[in-house]
Structures are given as structure tokens and as C-alpha cells.
Amino acid sequence: MATTETTESTGAKGGHESGAFPPLDSSSFPSQLFWLVIFFGALYFLMSRLVLPKLGAILATRKAQIDGDMARAQALKDETEAAVRHYEKALGDAKANANDIARDTKSKVTSEIDGEQATLDGALAKKIKDAEARVAKAKAKAMESVEAIAGESAADIVSSLTGGKTTKAAVAKAIAASKG
């Protein structure tokens, strides 16, 4: 029984007669509700008038900055794509121009080569004709010498075989008869 007396005496010394936990004591509910409403009202006022507008402004600023950055990035992307298209077009034009220049140069060089070749062919044909004429002339001269040498050789052979002398006129007559 000593423990119950101590508990009751402790409760009596603290000033509370019922011994219930004060926030759960139904007799203090009206004052607790009053202060609850006051503090939540003050908290709502502070949040709605001071904190939330600042947060809203910060969020709006961030959203505007992000939207601006996105718009700028899109503009740069569009500009880059346009530059790439322009570059590709310029590259295609340059290739076509280079092909045209190469074709024109090839055509010019081919025509120059054909002209030079025709000139050289003409000069070569003339040289060949001149050379053939010289060869024919040299051949005719050589043939005249051959006939004279053949006549002399024939005369020498006949005189050594027959032991007599033959005349040049007889040899020339015999050679002319053998020709035709």
C-alpha cells in the first residue's frame, strides 16, 4: 500500500487533482482549440503572404530561365541545322563545279592532244614520204651501180671462162635482153 500512497501524494503535490495527462484532459480542450486556431491562422497567413509568394516567384523565375534556355537551345539547333544544310549544299555545288571544271579541262586537253597528234601525224607522214623518196633514189642509184658492177663482173667471168675478151657493149646488150 505504500506505493499507492506515494502516487496519490505525488499527484496532490503537483496541483492536479484528477491525475490525467494535461493535453488529453477534456477540461482544457477549449483553450487548446483556441490556440490551435490562432497558431494555424498565423502560420497560414505567414505562408500565404510571405513564404509562398517568394517560392512562387523563385519557381516562376526558374521556369522563365529554363524556357528561355530551351528556346535559345532550339534556336541554336535550328541555326546549326541550317548551317549544315547550307554547308552540304555548298559542298554539293563545289563538287559539281569541280566535276564541270575537270570535264572542261579534260575536253580542252583532249582537243589539244588531238590537234598536236594531227600536226605530228602530218609532219611524220611528210618525213616518211621524204625518207621513202630518198630510199627510192638511193635504191635507183645503187641499182645503177649494181648493173655496172654486174656488167663488169659478167665480162670478167666470161673472159676467164672463155679466155677471150668481151666488150662492154655486148655485156650491156646481154643484160638488157635479160631484163626484158
Q: For residue 158, name the pLDDT band (cuts at 50, 70, 90).
A: confident
Which amino acid makes up residue 14?
G
Q: For residue 144, name the pLDDT band (cuts at 50, 70, 90).
A: confident
pLDDT score recorded for residue 17:
58
**% of the chain with per-residue pLDDT over 90:** 55
pLDDT score recorded for residue 6:
47
- The mean predicted confidence, pLDDT, of the chain is 85
CB-based contact 175:150 (threshold 8 Å): yes
Q: State pLDDT tens for residues 63-72.
A: 999 999 999 9
CB-based contact 134:141 (threshold 8 Å): no
What is the spatial distance between Cα 3 and Cα 9, in angstroms, rounded to a whole number?
10
